[in-house]
Structure 1
């Protein structure tokens, strides 16, 4: 390849995001569910934050972790969805190289942060069920703050190599990203270099962080179930296990689409590109939309406060 062509896209000033490749004609229609889901996610998570802030009885460890999850959901979805909608509505496909790498960092950092918060919530359920008498002395405000800081630092530090590795590769073929946002693999696949370091690190991150989180959650629930089965009556077992249902639903809402999306991006070469991109894009909206619905419906304190707010407004 001639030198002139080789240097055209080396550290390009802009990338071009295609949206959902192969479904450009349907972008307007695709934007309707995307916009609806994003609106629900924003309103739902802000409502959770508002209720917890205003209600003193909710100022406890479980609800602090829930607020962390709500903030993470808001940042993760807001870092991508407005740009997606601008592509769908206005065909605004350009994104600067630096903005693309920043978006990459936010997407992967905050999705990992969500996983870490779910581990913290599993620990909260473990202490509440297995050591209820020590709950208030174990999960104090300083301890909750330290757990939150550890989750932020872990995801922030382990995600840093993504943009740094992506920046060092030469992009001499094209600057067109066949995706709706700047995902790590979608960007580095454009490089005209051996990107095995980026690919291997991405897999390591996926299986190390998510694998470790799933392991700790599994251990927590094994201990929780053991404690539940020791309870004397069936009603007590069901009532105690019911406090874990919302957390288990939140875990499913995050991990199932995350694992499916990550594996199809790397190994699903037989899956049509438009379907892979659509799944990856939906993944960024599903957990932020579902989490406030799950907790709003399942946690009676939040549900009661919501009913009270709407009742007051009507009267």
Structure 2
């Protein structure tokens, strides 16, 4: 088993990440760290009463793990990831891994220099629905992708976060980055050029961005907001073989093409609740991280890693420049 430490023991860590670490059976957790020792002790119990620390640096000094998972805020993600990589520790961090492209470039450089496994926790791309959608787009009956449209709408969080001074920047890192990363996933992390962006702010924030793909003639339209009454996620991809893949949330995907007999489609529908660990991708991303640690040849395919995450941060940097957020 891979020795592990977990930094950050808040609600998301306890509800979404730690249960997958336990279920995967790939890791032996040595310790957890959180400034809130009550939260750390609660997390420790779920992992078999492991050691707790209020300072993650002390944990690394006393008992260096092979891998570390960070579930906190982007400033903590960056600080822990940087020090862990310098100490030759494999890193998985929740999104967003850092505040800006400068920090992301530092992390990507360190990961490449050290040859370590890294992954950013974008669970949507690891979901069962995402696997079906990606496989459909790789089918000859789909052809080459000509356009992608993704909408990501949430109800929370809103407002300023993480000591940022502009709600638009907080929104880009909290919500828009989800839609952007899913577009990166569907286009194999080849990168984009920002063509147009609009942003509206009121009680919440909404952003619409149009991108062109670096590797093809495809156009990508991304719409994200935090004004919705509940979470709603949809993706649509059109291929030049007169085909379409339509995804509704994490529980339904339809693939249709004129090349299919009688124009019938192929469907994938979840057999479990939408919050299931397999369906939502949380378990798959933890297992992906473990496999990349064990097999160096798989590290580039463990995505988004710190290098491929630069694709998203380049777009966000361009949006921030367009909106005069710098």
TM value normalised by structure 2: 0.27
TM value normalised by structure 1: 0.27
Larger helix proportion of the pair: 1
Larger strand proportion of the pair: 2
User: Which structure has the bigger radius of gyration?
Assistant: 1
- Give the number of the structure with larger relative contact order, counting CA–CA contacts within 8 Å between residues 6 or more apart: 1
